[in-house]
Amino acid sequence: MTAPGHLMAAEVAEIPDVIEGQLRANLDAYLALGRAWAKEPPVFFATCARGTSDQAALFFKYLTEIGSGIPVASLGPSLGSLFPVSLRMKGAALLAISQSGASPDLVALTRKAAEGGADTFALLNTVASPLGAAAGRVLPLSAGPERAVAATKSFVASLVAVAAIHAGQTGDRDLEADLLALPGHLRAGARELDLRPLAGTRRLFCLGRGLGLAIAGEAALKFKETCLLAAEGASSAEFRHGPLALADRDTAALVFLQDDATRPGTEALAATLKDRGATVMVLGAGSDCLPRDLRHPATQAIGAITVFYRAVQQLALSLGLDPDVPPHLQKATLTE
């Protein structure tokens, strides 16, 4: 009989090896796509994803808009499957991101985008899939089989792929080097993160901005999936526009930081929450739980979510739950 949470624990432990193998197999292809986009920029980008993969698409949005100034729109997959609308996407590029590549609405939207004139690309862990067949070009994530319902290593592989494409698009050799060094930094480890103080409060928020917002959204999803905690992912900027009224001693926040222009405002919000009595944990650049040799904001974010995954798996076990098999969920959710 296997222990609860063993699948998730094993898959999180594989992340450094996954990144190393992924980059060995695919780095040249990621960089080449980014360079092609730099040489002939699309008029705009669109993304197509759900769940965890949609947070990777948000990561792509911020990296791309900050690095190139080209807008990135998140398209609702139901535009492909439920609504009889024609998409006008001449000159655009659509990036679909999926672990399984099996969801019919993602497939339908990708096909409809191509019919509307877009070049279509897919980042997939399962290349031989309906989405793989529908996309004009597929780039593998190479994360290997993932059996725990909560996606972990495939999400990290998605972020690595997006960051490598960005490095090619912007000519950022420092980011490329940081990605190649990332597995070693993650293996070196740091102080373990203990999330238990966050679980006893009435309200739980995961906060970040820019690249940190994508990570915060993923963390909130994992709190829901594995720990049955109704966490909310939110922008640290948007949080001041209303939700801050909820901050008190029965509120907790996990705040994600990276070394970029978002850091001062996010740190200020964390201080405000503490002043109002909230339980606050900060994860990211400068945290004792994150390897300090991560230089680029993108790799700092990837490191932070990896540390979080180990911690949330332990939190679920402490709550008497099995994070491998969340109630009412299955590995591939096939939305129409």
Q: What is the CATH number of the domain that holds 280?
A: 3.40.50.10490
Q: Could you tell me the residue range of the domain that residue 314 belongs to?
A: 191-318
Q: What is the pTM of this model?
A: 0.95
Whether residues 256 and 286 share a domain: the answer is: yes
Whether residues 301 and 198 share a domain: the answer is: yes
Residue 272 lies in a domain: yes
| Residue 218: how many other CB atoms lie within 10 Å | 31
Kindly give the confidence (pLDDT) of every residue in the chain, 336 residues in length, as a single tens digit, with 9 standing for 90 and above: 577 768 999 999 999 999 999 999 999 999 999 999 999 999 999 999 998 999 999 999 999 999 999 999 999 888 888 888 899 999 999 999 999 998 999 999 999 999 999 999 999 999 999 999 999 999 999 999 988 888 899 999 999 999 999 999 999 999 999 999 999 999 987 788 999 999 989 999 999 999 999 999 999 999 999 999 999 999 999 988 888 878 889 999 999 999 999 999 999 999 999 999 999 999 988 888 888 889 999 999 999 999 999 999 999 999 999 888 876 655 455 555
Whether residues 314 and 286 share a domain: the answer is: yes
Residue 323 lies in a domain: no
The total number of structural domains in the chain stands at 2
Whether residues 150 and 84 share a domain: the answer is: yes
Whether residues 87 and 174 share a domain: the answer is: yes
Query: Among residues 187, 208, 238, which one ends one of the domains?
Result: 187
